[in-house]
Amino acid sequence: MALCPQCNQATSLSSDNAWRPFCSERCKLLDLGEWFGERYTVPVDNLEGDLLQDEDGTLQ
């Protein structure tokens, strides 16, 4: 028995659990969503920061 990395509820790591190491499809998709969310959020934030800095430089 192990704990689901997403919701910390008891889950099975045996081959009959299609969503292992997660307890359910929902938890697996949530974990992937967070992972991709971070991956795509960081470059967007950096891009916006650069654009804002460029605008400030032009105005000054």
User: How far apart are alpha carbons 6 and 27 in whole angstroms?
Assistant: 6
In angstroms, what is the minimal distance from the CB of 29 to Zn ion? 11
The residues binding Zn ion (CB under 5 A) are 4, 6-7, 23, 27
Q: From the annotation, which residues make up the binding site?
A: 4, 7, 23, 27
User: How far apart are alpha carbons 37 and 39 in whole angstroms?
Assistant: 5
Contacts of 38 (CB under 8 A, 6+ apart): none
Kindly tell me which of 15 and 58 has the beta carbon lying closer to Zn ion.
Answer: 15
Q: From the annotation, which residues make up the binding site for Zn(2+)?
A: 4, 7, 23, 27
**Token code pair at residue 12:** 């099975």
Kindly tell me which of 10 and 42 has the beta carbon lying closer to Zn ion.
Answer: 10
